[in-house]
Structure 1
Amino acid sequence: MAKRYAENISLGDALKEFIGKNKLDKGLDKVNAKEAWVTVMGHAIVKYTSDVKLDRETLYVQLTSSVLREELSYGKEKIVKLLNEELGRELIKKLILR
């Protein structure tokens, strides 16, 4: 049965508790990583992106342009830093461009 509180709690706190109890953190992290890629990289790069997948602490990005993949490979560390700043925590440790 659900736990009842005598005092009122904020909706944000209730959602955080629900996400924690139902172990939805990993699924939300995957969605947030995809959204962060779109936000950080912009439309010009996103249109050459066919898939973005977060697995553990590694972000796999499937690109349709080999030239773009080569250019982005030079700045992997900076991209990871920008993505983590967008996410607000150290979620991504490694970036693999395919």
Structure 2
Amino acid sequence: MAKRQNEFYSIQDLMKDVIKENKLTKGMHQLSVKDAWAKLMGNGVVSYTNNIELQGKTLIVKLKSSVLREELSYGKEKIIKMMNEELGESLISKIVLC
């Protein structure tokens, strides 16, 4: 009969291990980026957003409004900084607005 180990692990540590072992990190980053975008940009910008996708270190944001696209293009560096701070790691180095 197998001997029971008396080591305790936090749920957070166990979830990190499961995500890493099953190679789910990329998908989790996609979800985190979408959540961070919605939180930081607010309902106004989110309502004009068609799609958000993380390809490598590039965030691709598809927008419905050319006016909004132009307005956001002036603050790309600030958006990158805010997104990376919200995500807790440097996942984004470039933003493409289309």
Instruction: Tell whether the structures are fold-level matches, with TM greater than 0.5.
Output: yes
Structure 1 residue ranges without an equivalent (≥5): none
Please, what TM-score do these two structures have when normalized by structure 1?
0.92
Question: What TM-score does the superposition give when structure 2 sets the normalisation length?
Answer: 0.92
Output one character per residue of 1:15-55: Cα deviation in whole Å (capped at 9) or x when no partner: 11111111111110011001111011001111110111111
SS of the residue 1:59 aligns to:
strand
Supply the distance in 2 between the matched residues of 1:92 and 1:34 (Cα, whole angstroms).
12
Q: How do residues 71-86 of structure 1 correspond to structure 2 at under 5 angstroms?
A: 71-86=71-86
Alignment length, in residue pairs?
A: 95
1:20-35 to structure 2, matched below 5 A, reads: 20-35=20-35
Distance 2:5 2:47 in 1: 47
Task: Encode CA deviations 1:44-77: one digit per residue, 9 max, x unaligned.
Answer: 1111101111111000000000011001101000
Distance in 2 (alpha carbons) for counterparts of 1:10 and 1:29: 21
Give structure 2 stretches of 5+ with no counterpart.
none
1:5 Cα deviation after fit = 4.8
CA RMSD in angstroms comes to 1.2
Shift of 1:11: 1.1
How many Å separate the matches in 2 of 1:30 and 1:5?
36
Larger radius of gyration: 2
Partner of 2:58: 58
